[in-house]
Amino acid sequence: MDDNILEMDSDNDDFDESRLGMIQEEVVYPEEFLPTYYAIKAEVSAKKANLVEYNNQPDSLFFNDGVRSVDFILVYEDEDTKPFDKKSAFKRHKKRREYFEGCLMKMGLELEATPSVHGDNLMYVKVHVPWEVQRTYAEVLHIKIPIEVNDHVDRSPIWDLFDWITKHFKPNEKLIKKEVDHYTAPYQKHHHDCFLKMDKERFFTPSMRSRMANFIMCRAPYEIRGNVKKFGITKLLNTGVYKAAYPPHDCRFNVKSTVESCPNERYLLYKEWAHPKNFYKTQPLDLIRKYYGEKIGIYFAWLGFYTKMLAFASVVGLACFFYGYHIQENSTWSKEVCDPDIGGKIVMCPQCDLCNYWILNSTCDTSKTLTIFDHFGTLVFAVFMAVWVTVFLEFWKRYQSQLEFEWDTVEFLEQQEPSRPEYDAACVYDTINPVTGVQEKVPFTFCGRCFRISIGIGTVLFWIVLILASIVAIIIYRLAVFFSLSIKLKNPGNFTTLEPLKEYVTPQMATSVTAGLINFVVIMILNTLYERVAIWITDFELPRTRTDYENSLTLKMFLFQFVNYYSSCFYIAFVKGKIVGHPGQPVYILGKYRNEECDPGGCLIELTTQLAIIMGGKAIWNNIQEVLLPWVKNLIFRYCTRVTPKKVEPPRWEQDFELQPFTKLGLFYEYLEMVIQFGFVTLFVASFPLAPFLALVNNIIEIRVDAWKMTTQFRRILPEKARDIGAWQPILQWIAILAVATNAMIIAFTSDIIPRLVYYWSFSVEEGYGNHSMSGFINSSLSYFNTDDFSKATVTDAVERPPNITICRYRDFRFPPGHPRQYQYNMHYWHVIAAKMAFIIVVEHVAYLTKFILASVIPDISHTTREHLKRERYLTQAIIHEVRLNLVSKRLKPVKDDLSSHMARNDNDDDELELSEY
């Protein structure tokens, strides 16, 4: 490494130079075009970009000569306009910037600076990537270029009929025309004639040129001191040398450009994609990918596909919900609870040490509400969702493979992905690559890597324990509030504020709602704190490529978010109310706190409430953040930066500077939000059939909100390459596998479906009701307890016992008092337990077998896409072979001509010799 110490703090893509020769063996780059800081020597002269005045053409994206395109923008504050006492603070900035710009020009870029028209002392440096530089870096970045028009026809008249039906739900084809499909191949300079003939301006798209410019700027040095070499545009942005760096939008989002050559892609995206009136239309994915890059395109493709699949799940979920609503009034179970002669005469035991006795029909409304979600249709819906999630993931793989071919990312392998500048800057140790056998540089030894990974794992575990501690704190809060409300609600004189709501507010419901709200606030606070910790850990681990970095961060963030969002739901579903003992011998936590019991209607209604609060609150909060926050920031920024208002309309790059920057992890959070929602939809759907419908509504809004903010409120996103959704794919698969087990256990242990079925088929006839019936289920599911068996520790003197009451009831299957095995589990309990375990085993095996069969039957790549891939590879090899053959023929032709002339001369010499002899 020339014994140089490299210092860098960039987060952009990099190129792994050790693999350059391996991938492109025939290419020898000129020194001035090498994609690295190594080619820049310390004696590079520092010079500023050419300074020109604004030419009053706001829609132009060219230099003042009208020929060279603007591919990137750098913004800085002019130090010459600062007061004398502040100039010293900007002196180093100026020196670094001038050296950096000199290196950019040394590496082939062309620069032109224009002052701001608003009088705010800002300078805008326009960056242009010349043609020869484009050709060099297109090969370095493995950019694919068309080689031939796709002549493969795979459509049938049925698809034409289908298009005629769905054309009203597609973007306007007159505005967004379908692009011609091509077979493509990675660009190579020495095979330039293999590719389709196009103008230089259209050979590489603006997004490709922006990517090239950013690639170069991530490697250009800005300061060299002795053997310390510092480089990268991100470091300059972080230290304030530059205020912004971004590719320009091609036009205003709501007005067409006046330049004839402008494609107006931003305007078309806003009109046909981001505008709220087009919420029912499909997304123009090809145009999104062309304008923002494959990484953004694959996100919106996945989000759109996920939303379409949610539509099918929502239909079944709504049917399940309305079926429960229909049978609500006819449910025998809820009727018995609400019946004054049945539920009105059953006195229930206190649920805490300070709680009162209560009458069963006081939970009439809760029981009716529970009937909507807890019925046989929910079981069918849970099984359907297990199949749905498998179909969704398998068909997404097929659709993803199709996009990989259409968007030229099929051969985007890890070896081709550039390494991050931070990784290259820290490489000081020599090692042998086990794959290539080539010696290369690495940033740390094996022991150092293990140490960094251990620190990361330990930090993640610490924060997960912190989340669990917060859950325990919320459990203690629930116990304390439940005790307090139980005392105050029984004495209206002490708690008159809730007197009008006393009929509707129960201690269990109030505790569940307030605890859910507090849990949501804690979740959002911990998310904000852990976000910084996860980024710090990932930076410390120093992954090699951008993909490795995002995958590592994805795993850390999802583990944290999984525990943060789902721990309270898992507690309510599988822990709360499961180990409570019986009224005479309750279970205490730490020997002091009595374990929390479920709502009288069951824990399922509490789980439903918790899910509704978290899903609804999260959706509302995220939409406020994504819509209101960028708009307010842009409004304040425009107001504060315009020092002297002018009548001159600012140029395109200056209008873009007033927008919000799209952070490096902006897309990561969009994925994280959707995957967390996917978990709610699949993991706990047995308790909340409306979850798919709520997710569907949220996603329809989410697509348009994301489109609106990207086209109107954010600067143009730097295009990045991506072939799939990365680490999110295996995460979704693990959620799908876990969802089968969680829903089976929710139905078995949280809902009352299994006890009802056991009673209906096994015990209803024995109870004397003749045929199979649900009559008498309430009486059968409640055990008896003698109030004289209460101890002072469990029920204090403050608890008021109704007169002439010696027996109270509680939810369990135990022998009554006076029985030789009083308060022990009876046969009914063991029948129910056996049925629950059998249900879990059968459902899981059937669901997993169905998932395995579907995954095996549905291929990951469709037959049509396979044919396209084979055709593309064949054409690429045939064309390149033909070009090489022609090149060899041209090289052999002069040799053949020389040989012919030489033989002719020899023949003439022989003739002359014969004549002389004669």
Interior/surface letters 416-429, b for 16+ CB within 10 angstroms, e for the rest: bbbbbbbbbbbbee
Q: How confident is residue 621, by pLDDT bands cut at 50, 70 and 90? A: confident
Please classify residue 293 by burial: count the beta carbons closer than 10 Å to its beta carbon, then call 0-12 exposed, 13-18 middle and 19+ buried.
buried
> Is 70 exceeded by the pLDDT of residue 152?
no
How many angstroms from the chain centroid is the CA of residue 435?
31
Q: pLDDT at position 35, please?
A: 47
Sequence-separated (6 or more) residues with CB below 8 Å from residue 269? 253, 284, 287, 288, 291, 707, 711
- Three-state DSSP at 690 gives coil
Q: What DSSP letter does each residue of 464-514 carry, written as one string?
A: HHHHHHHHHHHHHHHHHHHHHHHHHHH-GGG-GGGTTTTTT--HHHHHHHH
Q: Which residue has the higher pLDDT, 898 or 457?
A: 457
Q: What is the mean pLDDT of residues 596-619?
A: 80
Identify whether the C-beta of residue 671 lies closer than 8 Å to the C-beta of residue 725. yes
Question: Helices 376-406 & 294-326, crossing angle to 10 degrees?
Answer: 160
- Residue among 68, 92, 65, 91 nearest 80 (CA): 91
How does pLDDT run across 783-807, given as a tens digit for each residue? Answer: 999 988 887 666 655 566 677 788 9
Q: Which residue has the higher pLDDT, 84 or 866?
A: 866
Integer Cα distance of 440 and 443 in angstroms: 10
How does pLDDT run across 298-314, given as a tens digit for each residue? Answer: 999 999 999 999 999 99
Query: Per the structure block, which two tokens stand in for 438?
Result: 């080539």
Question: Phi and psi for 148 in degrees, rounded to 5?
Answer: -165, 150
Q: pLDDT at position 88, please?
A: 57
Q: pLDDT at position 887, please?
A: 62
Question: Phi and psi for 144 in degrees, rounded to 5?
Answer: -90, 140
Q: What is the mean pLDDT of residues 3-11?
A: 45
Interior/surface letters 752-779, b for 16+ CB within 10 angstroms, e for the rest: bbbbbbbbeeebbeeeeeeeeebbbbbe
Q: pLDDT at position 898, please?
A: 59
Query: Per the structure block, which two tokens stand in for 188?
Result: 């190579």
Integer Cα distance of 645 and 667 in angstroms: 35
Mean pLDDT of the chain, nearest integer = 79
Q: What is the mean pLDDT of residues 842-869?
A: 85
50-59, 435-444, 448-457: least confident range:
435-444
> Is 50 exceeded by the pLDDT of residue 33?
no
Q: pLDDT at position 824, please?
A: 92
- How many CB atoms within 10 Å of residue 289? 23
Q: pLDDT at position 772, please?
A: 75
Q: What residue ranges in 380-475 does DSSP mark as E strands? A: 429-432, 439-442
- Three-state DSSP at 665 gives coil
Q: Which residue has the higher pLDDT, 738 or 197?
A: 738
Whole-angstrom CA distances from 121 to 236, 553, 595 are: 18, 39, 66
- How many CB atoms within 10 Å of residue 568? 27
Percent of the chain with pLDDT strictly greater than 70: 78
Identify whether the C-beta of residue 828 lies closer than 8 Å to the C-beta of residue 780. yes
Q: pLDDT at position 41, please?
A: 55
Every domain of the chain and the residues it spans: 31-142+204-248, 282-435+450-754, 755-845+850-857
> Is 70 exceeded by the pLDDT of residue 25?
no
Query: Per the structure block, which two tokens stand in for 12?
Result: 């952009």
Q: What DSSP letter does each residue of 243-291 carry, written as one string?
A: SEEEPPPSS-SSS--S-TT---HHHHHIIIIISGGGTTSPP-HHHHHHH
Q: What is the mean pLDDT of residues 531-548?
A: 82
| Listed ranges 249-258, 410-419, 549-558; the one with the highest mean pLDDT | 249-258
Integer Cα distance of 403 and 169 in angstroms: 20
Identify whether the C-beta of residue 170 lies closer than 8 Å to the C-beta of residue 254. no
CA geometry: angle 478, 511, 755, nearest 5 deg: 90
Q: pLDDT at position 325, please?
A: 85
170-179, 397-406, 719-728, 793-802: least confident range:
793-802
> Is 70 exceeded by the pLDDT of residue 645?
no
- How many CB atoms within 10 Å of residue 619? 19
Question: Phi and psi for 446 in degrees, rounded to 5?
Answer: -60, -40
Q: pLDDT at position 617, please?
A: 80
* pTM of this structure: 0.83
> Is 90 exceeded by the pLDDT of residue 415?
no
DSSP bridge pairs for 77: 122
> Is 70 exceeded by the pLDDT of residue 337?
yes
Q: pLDDT at position 22, please?
A: 29
- How many CB atoms within 10 Å of residue 794? 19
Sequence-separated (6 or more) residues with CB below 8 Å from residue 618? 520, 673, 676, 677
How does pLDDT run across 869-900, given as a tens digit for each residue? Answer: 787 777 777 776 676 666 667 666 665 555 55
Laid out side by side, the sheet with 244-246 consists of 50-51, 110-115, 122-128, 72-77, 244-246
Sequence-separated (6 or more) residues with CB below 8 Å from residue 208? 134, 138, 143, 719
Integer Cα distance of 280 and 797 in angstroms: 64
Question: Helices 691-708 & 666-683, crossing angle to 10 degrees?
Answer: 170
Q: pLDDT at position 800, please?
A: 64
- How many CB atoms within 10 Å of residue 907? 10
Percent of the chain with pLDDT strictly greater than 90: 20
How does pLDDT run across 565-595, given as a tens digit for each residue? Answer: 888 888 888 888 888 888 888 888 766 767 7
Sign of CA dihedral 389, 390, 395, 398: positive
How many angstroms from the chain centroid is the CA of residue 139?
30
Only one residue has tokens 């990784």, namely 423
Q: What DSSP letter does each residue of 704-739 carry, written as one string?
A: HHHHHIIIIIBPPPPP---SS-TTHHHHHHHHHHHH
End-to-end, the C-alpha distance of the chain in Å comes to 75
Only one residue has tokens 């009554």, namely 816
Q: Which residue has the higher pLDDT, 167 or 202?
A: 202
Integer Cα distance of 469 and 458 in angstroms: 16
Q: pLDDT at position 27, please?
A: 36
How does pLDDT run across 698-738, given as a tens digit for each residue? Answer: 999 999 999 999 999 999 999 888 888 888 999 999 999 99
> Is 60 exceeded by the pLDDT of residue 697?
yes
Q: How confident is residue 248, by pLDDT bands cut at 50, 70 and 90? A: very high
Q: Which amino acid is at 577?
A: G
Whole-angstrom CA distances from 630 to 55, 127, 295 are: 31, 27, 22
Whole-angstrom CA distances from 304 to 298, 372, 378, 685, 728 are: 10, 30, 27, 21, 16
Identify whether the C-beta of residue 141 lies closer than 8 Å to the C-beta of residue 215. yes
Q: Which amino acid is at 857?
A: V
Q: Which residue has the higher pLDDT, 125 or 505?
A: 125
* H/E run at residue 73: strand 72-77
Check residue 820 and report its DSSP letter: T
Q: What DSSP letter does each residue of 862-885 carry, written as one string?
A: -HHHHHHHHHHHHHHHHHHHHHHH
Q: pLDDT at position 469, please?
A: 82
- How many CB atoms within 10 Å of residue 234? 21
Percentages helix, strand, coil for the chain (3-state, rounded to 5) are 60, 10, 30
Q: What DSSP letter does each residue of 204-233 carry, written as one string?
A: S-HHHHHHHHHHHHTT-EEEEETTEEEE-H
Sequence-separated (6 or more) residues with CB below 8 Å from residue 873? none
Q: Which residue has the higher pLDDT, 902 or 173?
A: 173
Length reported for the chain: 918
Give the long-range contacts of residues 330-334, CB within 8 A, separation 24 or more: 331/368, 331/371, 331/375, 332/773, 332/774, 332/775, 332/777, 333/367, 333/371, 333/752, 333/756, 333/774, 333/777, 333/778, 334/364, 334/367, 334/368, 334/370, 334/371
Q: pLDDT at position 915, please?
A: 35
* H/E run at residue 75: strand 72-77
> Is 70 exceeded by the pLDDT of residue 670?
yes
Q: What is the mean pLDDT of residues 522-548?
A: 81
Only one residue has tokens 């009083």, namely 822
How does pLDDT run across 338-368, given as a tens digit for each residue? Answer: 888 888 888 988 887 777 788 888 888 888 8
Question: Helices 603-641 & 546-574, crossing angle to 10 degrees?
Answer: 140
